[in-house]
Each structure stands twice: as C-alpha cells, then as structure tokens.
Structure 1
Amino acid sequence: GTTIGSVVLIKLTFDRFIHHPHALSVASLVWFGLGFLVLALIHAGMRMLERIDAEQLGQGYVHQVRMVLYAHLSSLPPRKLQMRTRGSIMLRFVGDLTALRQWVSLGLARIIVAGVTISGSLLALALISWPLALTVGAVVVPGTALSLLLGKLLLQAAREVRRRRGFLAGNLNEQVASMAVVQVSGQTRWEQNRVERQSGRLKAALILRAWVIGGLRAVTTATTAIARAAALIMGAILVSFDQTTPGTVVAAMSIVGFLVPSLRDLGRVYEYWQGARVSIEKIHQFLDGAIPVVESKRTGGLRCGAGHLVFSHVSVSGSLTNFSATAVPGSVIAVVGPNGAGKSTVLSLVARLVDPECGTVQLDGKDLCKLARDSLHRVVSVASPDLPLLSGTIRKNLCYRWRSAPEAELARVRALCGIDELLDDLPDGEDTRIAEGGVSLSAGQRQRIVLARAILGSPLLLLLDEADTNLDPGARAVFNEILTSHEGTVLMVTHQLDSALRADILWYMENGKLIATGKPDELLQFDSRVAEFFRLHEQQVLAS
C-alpha cells in the first residue's frame, strides 16, 4: 500500500510540475512533502513491526523445538547418549537452532514481506505502464532463476561447513574435558596440530560458502542494476514516442528502487533456507537416532512398599540374556563379574535408564516399565562415578534428588556421610560453589557428597555402581556405614572383595547371564569361578 501510494504521489508530483509549472507554489510543495513524510513514517513503522513480529515468530518456534530436543535428550538411555560427542549434541541446541531461527525470523518472514512488496511493486508498475512492467519483469525473472541454480551449490557448501564445524566442536569439547590427560601424556603439540588442521578445513569450507553467497548477492545486485537501467532506457524510448510521461518514468524508477531491498532479502533468504535445511536434517537424525525410554503413569503407592525386586527373564541386546533374579526387601546384593558381564545394565534397568526388550522388572509387584521414570527418584537412587556432581553450591548437589528435603533429613545425611566435617573446611559451607564434576574438591570429598545425594530420603532401592572404587579411608568408612545402616534394598556392583563380603547375597554374572547366586563366603569357598574372579582382580590391583 505504501509502495503504490508513493508511486502515485511521485507520478502526480512530476507530471503536474513539468506540464503545469505555473502551479508550482509553496503550499503545493508543502502538501506533497507532507504526503511523502506520512508515507515514509508508515513504511518505517511497518518495517519495525515486521522485524519484531518476525523475531517473535522465530523465537517462539525455536523455543518449542528446543524443548522437544531436551525432552528427547532426557529420555535417551545413557549408553546411547555416550555414543554421541558433546560437541555434536551442543550443535543441535546452538548452531542448528540458530539456523532455524534465522530461517523463520529472517527467511520465511522476508519471503512473505518481499513477495508482497515485489507483487505490489510490479502491480503498481503495470498500472502506470505495462511496457515498463514487462521490461522489469524480463530482468527479474531470469535473475531469480539464476539464484535458484546457485542455491544447489550453497546447499553443498552449507553441509560441508556443518560437518567441519561438528568435527572441530567435538574435538574441542573432548579436549576441555580431558586436557589433563593431554598434558601429562606430552601430546599438547600433537593435539594443537590436530585442532589447527580441523580449523583450517573449517576456514576453507566457510570461505567456499562465502564465494557462493557472494555469487548470490552479485546476481541480486546485478539484477536490480540491470532492471533499473532497462526501465530507464525503455522509459526514455516511450517518452520520445509520447507513449508515457516523464513522471511515469520517474515513478517506475522509484518502483525499481523499492524492489532493490526486497530482491536483496530474497537473495539472503535462500542462504538461510539452505543452512536451515541442513540443520533440519541433523535434528531429525538426532530425534530418530535412538529409541527413548517410554514414559507412563506415576508411581502411585511405591513409596510405602517394602523394596521387593524381581527380574523375570529379562533380555537387553548386547548386555543381558534371559536374566532372572530376586532381591528380598532390606537385603544387600553384591553384583560381581568380569567387565562386560551386564552388571551395570542390571542397575540401569531398575533406574529405568534402559528398558528390557523382553521380560519384566517388578518392584513390589509393579512393572517398572509402566511407571514414570521421573517419579522413581524418591524410591530408587543411584550413586556412581558416572553420575558426577553438578556445577553450583554443595547444598544444590545434596538436595538435587529432593529439593524440598527437610532440614532434619539433611542433618541426618550430613552426619552419616561426614559432610559436616567437609563443610567446616570450606569458606562458605553449604553455599560453597563447586565446578562441574566437583573438580575443585578432592576425590574423597566428591564421593561423600555423591553418596549423601543418593541416600537422601532413605530410598527403597539404593543402587551403587562401582561407588566403592578409589575411596580414601574416610570415604570408605562412610560407604561401609551406608551398607550397614541403610534400611532399604541395596544393589551394589563391585570388584572389591571387602565390599562383596559385607553383602547378604552375591550375584555372579558372566556374558549377560546370572551364573551363580548365594551367600558371599559360601560362593568364595565352593564356587571356583567366583574365587578366581576376585583372585584375578586382586592381582590386577597389585600389578597396577
């Protein structure tokens, strides 16, 4: 509307003052000037609202996609999650979502606005002079077609940039997490060269993409320049044959001027679309790449149960085969066996970090697969070196499972795990902030907090996955005290003979199967496989 209004006003102004110069007066100039001012203000206001609305549209869409991605991420089994690099996962949430936002906010919105503007401009041009409209259209259409051809090259370039950026991001994330290993191994220079090679390849891919983008913008610029020149030449011819007026030619040139930003926007739109297209592919691969744990109804009544756990003919590909076992309420079960025997998978089934492909796992007569995973946190708790502390305060980590835990319960857990002694040595006590993984604390201090977090609220089932590994004497005493005093059922994966002997029952596993079960001392005495397992482990410890 503002485009058509401006064109009509320009045509009237020039035709009137050229054909009727005596009509030129201050009053008429003021009225025409006010008309142009009003149209300019309306156009500026609409541009501002366009940008705000486009950003709201893009941010709203990206917010929804981000929450879908996080819901999928939080439902993935840990084993599947560990198969992906941190860098590739972060690219889903940062790089890919940024590309989607740019497409919706700067691409899709501009298609609508530019489409309306170009259509309106060509319509206005056709109304005042159809020969000029045909001339401009004959230039714009081939220019648009050439841009579409270059778009295929841009898609390839965008994919290569995305691939190279993923390699570099994954490597850098790994280096940040394991820089100490690099340093003590004397591989700093080698890793630096590796990053330099990856950065150089990313640089080359970005430059190649810039060439294609530059070509697209060159086509857009050339199209508008040629359209302006063609309109001027055709207008001069028409004026010379008295088939149009100078005002019409000036109005036509103004229309071409209106087309310039819209054509430039369309050139960028294809750039945004190709980037978003690659990101959409990667997001679909992420969402389709692994089967998440299926959510179901809430726990309902489990909190009042006894902690009776039954595995019935459970199988998980690559981990367990027809596994059946029973843990009676209040017992301590030591799950032992060589690496790869499926011990951690047994615990993951109870915590619903993975679901069985066949068979059932029942807690107090209820199938865990029919319970909501998030609602199990009060009845099933896990302590493991693979579940590190989070960045934030010590209190945040202690209460992470039960954010509204009463002070009496917190005091009990702090006393049992020796946390009060630890806090006495810290400047801000419970409010002391720790880094991700608790790297600012000693190994023993970290393990005490991990154990305290796990036993908060006295869960019915306490799962200890290698939680007794590399403990200092103080943390070892805390661990032993938990085994003795915990009122619920305990499943403990361990390689330590001392911990196994403290259990009521020992499950010995090999190759995903339960081979032997019984009292620890009896199995050590009468089952050579169990005795040999602990003997070999002790030899490995002494050798290391």
Structure 2
Amino acid sequence: MRPDLSGWRDVWRLTAGHRRAITAAAVLSLAGSALALAQPILARDAVDTAAAGTVPWPVLGTLVLLFAVQAATMALGRYVQAHTGETMMVRLRRRIIDHLLRVRIPELDRHRTGDLIARAGGDTAVVRTLIAQSLGSGIAGVAGLAGTVALLGWLDPWLLGAVTAMFGVAVAALLAIVRRLRVASRGAQAAEGALVADLERALGAIRTVRAGRAEAYESARAVAVARRARDANLRMARLAAVSGPANDLAVSGAFLVVLLVGATRVAAGETSLGQLVAFTLAMTYLAAPIGEIFLAVTAIQQGSGALHRINEVLALPRETDPAESPPHVPAGPVLRLRDVWFGYHPDRPVLRGIDLVVPARGHLALVGPSGAGKSTLFALVERFYDPDRGTILLHGQDVRSMPYGRLRATVGLVEQDCPLLHGTLRENLLYGGGPADDDEVHRTLALTNLTEVVAALPRGLDTDVGEHGRLLSGGQRQRVAIARCLLARPRLILLDEPTAHLDPDSERALADTIRDVSRVCALIVIAHRFSTVRGADRIVVIDGGTVAASGTHEELLRRNAYYRRLAATAAPVATAGR
C-alpha cells in the first residue's frame, strides 16, 4: 500500500515563507546535538585518565563548558521554533479570516458558523503546536540520529548491532501507531468544531432558549457533542500512551544489552572501560533524536487533520471581482431588472421573470405576501446571489461586471433585523462608510430621530451598544442602521421593512426622513405598514415571484384586488421570506 503523503505535502506548502526560520531552528537544534556528541568522547578520555590515577581537570572543565553551550543553543532553537509557530499561525488565521469574509453567501448558508469559527481558532492552534514543538526538532532529530549512529559505530560496531535490533522493534510498533493517529486527529478536530458550532447556536439565540425553557435540551445537546470530542481525543491519547512505553522499553532494553555485552568485552580485553562508558553515554543520546522524530511525525499526523479542515475552508468559492472593464458612464435609471429568475433550489424558483425599473430619485414601495420574493430581490441587487436567468443593471451596467466594492458603495442595504456590531455607537454609525465629520453625523442623527437617544446615553456616541446592539431597543437599532446607511451616501437605498420596530412617533419621523432622502437618491422600501406604503411615489405588488401590479396608491386601489384588501384592513403586510 502506498504511503499517504498528503499530510507532508500540506505541511510543506504551509512552511512557504518561513523555511529560513525553520532551518535556523533546525540548525540550532543540530548544533546542540553536535555538542552533545562530543561529550562521550571527552567522557571516555576522562574515565581512562581517572583510571590511571590522575584527575582530568581540563577535560572536566571542557565538559562543563559544552553542557552550558549546548543548553543555551537548544533553548535558543526552541524559542525560534515557538516564534515561527506563532508567526505562521497569525498568517494562517489572517488568510482564513480574509477568505471567510469573502466567501460567497450561498456557501456560507450551507455551513455552520460555529464550525467555521473553530477552524480559524482551534485548528490553527493545532498547526501552531506542530510548528512550535516539532518541525524544526524533527529535522534536527533526523540529523542527530544519523550522527549518533555514526559515533556509536565508530566506538563499537558490535554493540551498535545489538542496539539497532532493540530499537528496530520499537520503531516498527511506532510506525503502526502513527498511521492511526491521523484518522483519530481528524475525528477529534471535527468533534471540537461541532461543539463550538452548537455553543454558538445556543448562545446566539439565548433569549429564545430561555423563553422556551430549553436550557436542559441545549445543554444535553452540547454535552453529547463534547463527549464525542472526548472519545476522539481519548483515542489519540491511547495511541500516544502506547508509543511512550514502547520507546522507553527499547531504551531500557538497549541499556541492559549494552551493559551485559560491554562488560563481557571489557573483561575479555576487547575494549576499555572508558570506551564502554563513552558508548553508553552516546547511546543515551539516541532517545532524544528518536523522540524528536516521533514527535514530529505524530504532530504532522495530528496536524494533518486540522490542515485538512483548514484547506476545506480555503477551498470554498469566494466573491471575485470581474476583470477590469472600460470606465462606465452612469446613464438611465439607477436600477433595472430584466426578466430575472432565481431560486434557492433550481427546481423551485422564488422570482419568476421580474421586470422592474427604478428612477434615479424617488420612493418605491414593495408589498406582497410572505414568501413572495421581496427580500430575495434585495439580495440579488446586493449581489449576495446571482440570478439564474435575466439581467440586473445598475445605472445601465450589468452588476456582474462591477467590482463588489463599487456595487455595494452604490447600493446601501438596511436589513430587516438591523444587526449592529459590538462596539460604540459611533463605530456602528461610521461602519464601512467613508469619512464623515461631526456635522454630517449630527445631521443624520436628526434625520433619523436619534438626537435625543444619543443625548440620553451615558457616553453619547462613544457608548457601547452591546453584543448585536442589544443595549439599544429594537426601534433604536433600526434607526441606527438607517443612519449608518445614509452616512455611506449610496445612490440607491434598500430598506427591508424599516418600520417593523418603530412606535408611531418614530414612524412619522422616519416617513419624513424617507421623503427627504428620496429627493436626492432612490429608495426601495419593503413596506410593513400601510402608512409607509401610501407615502410612496410608486408601489409595486410582488406576488408569487412576479410583479402582479404597479402604480400609485390610487391606481392600485382601482386595479388590484390584493392591494384593495391591504388598504381595507390597513394591517401590517406580512414580512418577506425566502
């Protein structure tokens, strides 16, 4: 059976850009091994000199100096390895984070967020351990083992044969263990990722968990995953537990053989006592390089599971800007949809041939039943997804030919749940937008009826809003999200049910804001309340993934039965769904 070299190849690719530092660590470790190999020769001379009745002070002084230099060299080598491991981990984490933040939305929809976070955290820590504790030492271990074997052969080839036989059995057993470590490691890393994902699931909806009295259920679910992680880690521990005694047994057996055979050879006059002491001392140095090699191989097998999971993340397709195109002169309406079809599943389209034109200024309202495709339409305009058929034009240019950054600077989005990020209110207001001075910030706060809210906060704009903005009310979060969008100065603003969490006074203030903003740019609003719908310049009814009707409030009252029912009840329109 051919050996699986994928783990070694992954490690080799990972070391790109850091091989000089890894080599330096290996050279330092090798230098320490070389200094150690000189010690048995000096010890032999010291023993033979002492046996003749003379105290070998110069040799003893040289031995003490060698010990000190060896310790300093090995310590420096370990620090270089640790520094390299930390540097590589930061570089790898940056690569994973940059990639994850640009992965296409459909791919993110298919993966658990907690598991992806675990791959950027726990899995990279496993790789750091691989580099910091093993790789450089493993290279030095191979060289040190070769040097030690050569020295032993020079001192006494007969005794070397006996030692080789003892260590050969142990090495064969260790190789069998190493093959199983990789499979066990991959299972352990997968279980750890599932545990983080389950915790993220529960803590992300902690209010729902508490309100539903589901603490025991979520705890049992997470503990079950934790037990799977424990079992996988114990499988690795059992394999490692076998490897240690196998190595120790080989060393102990080799010592016993060397003492018995060596004593016989000394008694027969075939070698000197100093030569036996030198061989015995040199043999003790076999354990270190063998241990380093085994540690490196074991770490690579364990790290290969983490690297496999990391490579899966890096293989996820990401948003990629199209090739450079000639400069485009904005023309025509700000947005045009031509025969747009889209479905989250190919056989179940959500949008069916949508045609829509949005002028450069004005307020357009989208209404329709739940699941009609209103929020999906917004996702296509922001290019979180691409249509299955049809074209979306922004100022006359196909959005698929535009860089993502330019597209999203042109189109602002205020989501229905208006997520805020942990940080200050100021950071949230200026998040992702261009620079804005205090006057512009305060004008925007006034537009969105936030001036009094900010004045009441303990530190004003520098007040922390909490995780997901939970230290603010739902209506306040909604208005902050709208203000953030306005500060980015887009040409088209998409508001997904902006009045969902507003009281009547805030709703009236927002209606004034919408009216003012629509004079300078285009707004498309998914309407939640009939009062918002009625104030629009044009209203589009989306039903069954198609444009069922379009016109002003008065026109739709005459022509569209659904709209008449909406007006008659004056009830909130159902929220949009996928």
User: Normalization by structure 1: what TM-score?
Assistant: 0.89
Question: For 1:165 and 1:537, how far apart are their aligned partners in 2?
Answer: 51
Give the aligned partner of residue 7 of structure 2.
Answer: none
Which one-letter code corresponds to 1:362 in the other structure? L
Give the aligned partner of residue 180 of structure 1.
Answer: 207
Question: For 2:59 and 2:388, how far apart are their aligned partners in 1?
Answer: 78
Question: For 2:315 and 2:477, how far apart are their aligned partners in 1?
Answer: 36
Question: By how many angstroms is 1:357 displaced?
Answer: 4.7
Which of 490, 495, 515 aligns to 1:484? It is 515
Question: For 1:264 and 1:535, how far apart are their aligned partners in 2?
Answer: 82
Which of 11, 15, 33 aligns to 2:44? It is 11
Which of 473, 481, 500 aligns to 2:533? It is 500
Contact 1:495/1:534, CA 8 A, preserved across alignment: no
Give the aligned partner of residue 438 of structure 2.
Answer: 407
Give the aligned partner of residue 102 of structure 2.
Answer: 75
Which one-letter code corresponds to 1:53 in the other structure? V
Contact 1:307/1:460, CA 8 A, preserved across alignment: no
Contact 2:449/2:510, CA 8 A, preserved across alignment: no
Give the aligned partner of residue 452 of structure 1.
Answer: 483
Are residues 1:37 and 2:64 paired?
yes
Are residues 1:139 and 2:166 paired?
yes
Describe how 1:183-262 pairs up with structure 2 within 5 A: 183-262=210-289
Contact 1:309/1:328, CA 8 A, preserved across alignment: yes
Question: For 1:53 and 1:169, how far apart are their aligned partners in 2?
Answer: 32
Give the aligned partner of residue 437 of structure 1.
Answer: 468
Which of 47, 54, 73 aligns to 2:81? It is 54
Contact 2:530/2:573, CA 8 A, preserved across alignment: no
Question: For 2:47 and 2:487, how far apart are their aligned partners in 1?
Answer: 83
Which of 181, 184, 190 aligns to 1:154? It is 181
Describe how 1:271-420 pairs up with structure 2 within 5 A: 271-289=298-316, 291-296=317-322, 308-318=334-344, 319-402=350-433, 404-420=435-451
Give the aligned partner of residue 550 of structure 2.
Answer: 517
Which one-letter code corresponds to 2:334 in the other structure? H
Cα deviation 1:78-134 (Å, max 9, x = unaligned): 454244323202111111101111122223222112112212111211222222222
Give the aligned partner of residue 23 of structure 2.
Answer: none
Q: 1:146 to 1:91 in 2, by over 3 A?
A: same
Question: For 2:418 and 2:473, how far apart are their aligned partners in 1?
Answer: 16
Question: For 1:458 and 1:468, how far apart are their aligned partners in 2?
Answer: 21
Contact 1:391/1:433, CA 8 A, preserved across alignment: yes
Give the aligned partner of residue 114 of structure 1.
Answer: 141
Question: For 2:476 and 2:572, how far apart are their aligned partners in 1?
Answer: 28
Contact 1:140/1:224, CA 8 A, preserved across alignment: yes
Cα deviation 1:295-334 (Å, max 9, x = unaligned): 2478998898786112234444424444432211102222
Question: For 1:170 and 1:521, how far apart are their aligned partners in 2?
Answer: 51
Question: For 1:321 and 1:145, how far apart are their aligned partners in 2?
Answer: 65
Aligned CA RMSD, in angstroms, stands at 2.9
Question: By how many angstroms is 1:234 displaced?
Answer: 3.1
Question: For 1:534 and 1:155, how far apart are their aligned partners in 2?
Answer: 65
Partner secondary structure for residue 467 of structure 1: coil
Are residues 1:526 and 2:559 paired?
yes
Partner secondary structure for residue 433 of structure 1: coil
Q: 1:154 to 1:459 in 2, by over 3 A?
A: same
Question: For 1:3 and 1:418, how far apart are their aligned partners in 2?
Answer: 76
Contact 1:299/1:376, CA 8 A, preserved across alignment: no
Q: 1:400 to 1:36 in 2, by over 3 A?
A: same
Contact 1:293/1:355, CA 8 A, preserved across alignment: no
Q: 1:494 to 1:254 in 2, by over 3 A?
A: farther
Cα deviation 1:198-220 (Å, max 9, x = unaligned): 33343333333322221122222
Which one-letter code corresponds to 1:477 in the other structure? R
Question: By how many angstroms is 1:430 displaced?
Answer: 0.8
Between 477-486 and 234-243, the greater mean CA deviation after superposition = 234-243
Question: For 1:539 and 1:437, how far apart are their aligned partners in 2?
Answer: 26
Q: 1:299 to 1:64 in 2, by over 3 A?
A: farther
List alignment gaps of at least 5 residues for structure 2: 1-33, 345-349
Question: For 1:298 and 1:419, how far apart are their aligned partners in 2?
Answer: 41
Partner secondary structure for residue 101 of structure 2: helix
Question: For 2:440 and 2:466, how far apart are their aligned partners in 1?
Answer: 25
Which one-letter code corresponds to 1:360 in the other structure? T
Question: By how many angstroms is 1:485 displaced?
Answer: 0.9
Question: For 1:461 and 1:471, how far apart are their aligned partners in 2?
Answer: 23
Question: For 1:426 and 1:37, how far apart are their aligned partners in 2?
Answer: 68
Cα deviation 1:48-83 (Å, max 9, x = unaligned): 222222223323332332222122211124454244
Q: 1:357 to 1:42 in 2, by over 3 A?
A: farther
Contact 2:159/2:258, CA 8 A, preserved across alignment: yes
Question: By how many angstroms is 1:135 displaced?
Answer: 2.3
Contact 2:251/2:287, CA 8 A, preserved across alignment: yes
Contact 1:293/1:354, CA 8 A, preserved across alignment: no
User: Normalization by structure 2: what TM-score?
Assistant: 0.84
Question: In percent, how many aligned pairs have the same letter?
Answer: 24
Question: For 2:358 and 2:549, how far apart are their aligned partners in 1?
Answer: 14
Question: For 2:59 and 2:568, how far apart are their aligned partners in 1?
Answer: 100
Question: By how many angstroms is 1:242 displaced?
Answer: 2.8
Q: 1:146 to 1:421 in 2, by over 3 A?
A: same
Question: For 1:516 and 1:461, how far apart are their aligned partners in 2?
Answer: 22
Which of 106, 126, 129 aligns to 1:99? It is 126
Question: For 2:500 and 2:409, how far apart are their aligned partners in 1?
Answer: 25
Q: 1:135 to 1:175 in 2, by over 3 A?
A: same
Contact 1:332/1:483, CA 8 A, preserved across alignment: yes
List alignment gaps of at least 5 residues for structure 1: none
Question: For 2:504 and 2:276, how far apart are their aligned partners in 1?
Answer: 92
Question: For 2:270 and 2:505, how far apart are their aligned partners in 1?
Answer: 100
Count how many residue pairs are aligned between Structure 1 and Structure 2.
535
